[in-house]
Amino acid sequence: MSCNRNAQTAHPPVGGVLSQKDLDVSKNRMKNLNVIERGQIQDWISGQSVKYYPTQLNYWVTVEGYDQREKRKDETLISYSYDLYDFDQTKIYDQPFERRDARFGHFDELRAVENALRFIHDGEEVTLLVPSSLAYGTYGDEKKIDNDIPLIIKLKAL
């Protein structure tokens, strides 16, 4: 599956202040994009042999009842790594992103990754299917990930 790029690029007006109309347009755009991406991801899932389960935060994971597990608390430490893939299953970066002894509540991570880390068991590996709004969103990562790209994230607790 590949995702169509939306040609509507959002740019704040000169001065950087958005009107309520601009905010409403942006909100509706993200809402519509999320609906489209969720449909594309569900279509992709239907062609896979691995089963994926929806979570309350709007991403899918390879473990049933994943976000119903006991949640790790703020201030606890975790070491983890993850690889990013597009929905053609092409690895985006050669090296995984890796963090050692990160403290919950004190690190900045993709929303889906940080949420998934709250429920992962030590040594466990899970795959996340993430809409762009929970990944790099409207701006991409300004390197290899373009704007509005949903991702497959292979996450492992070390």
For the chain, the domain total comes to: 1
Report if residue 97 sits inside a domain: yes
Residue 6's pLDDT is what?
47
Report if residue 85 sits inside a domain: yes
Q: Between 108 and 82, whose confidence is greater? A: 82
Residue 20's pLDDT is what?
79
Report if residue 8 sits inside a domain: no
Residue 153's pLDDT is what?
98
Q: How far apart are CA 21 and CA 15, in angstroms?
A: 16
Query: How many CA atoms are closer than 13 Å to the CA of 113, on its beta-carbon side?
Result: 25
66-81: pLDDT as tens digits: 999 999 999 999 999 9
Domain that holds residue 48: 22-157
Is pLDDT at 12 greater than 90 in this prediction? no
Report if residue 7 sits inside a domain: no
Report if residue 130 sits inside a domain: yes
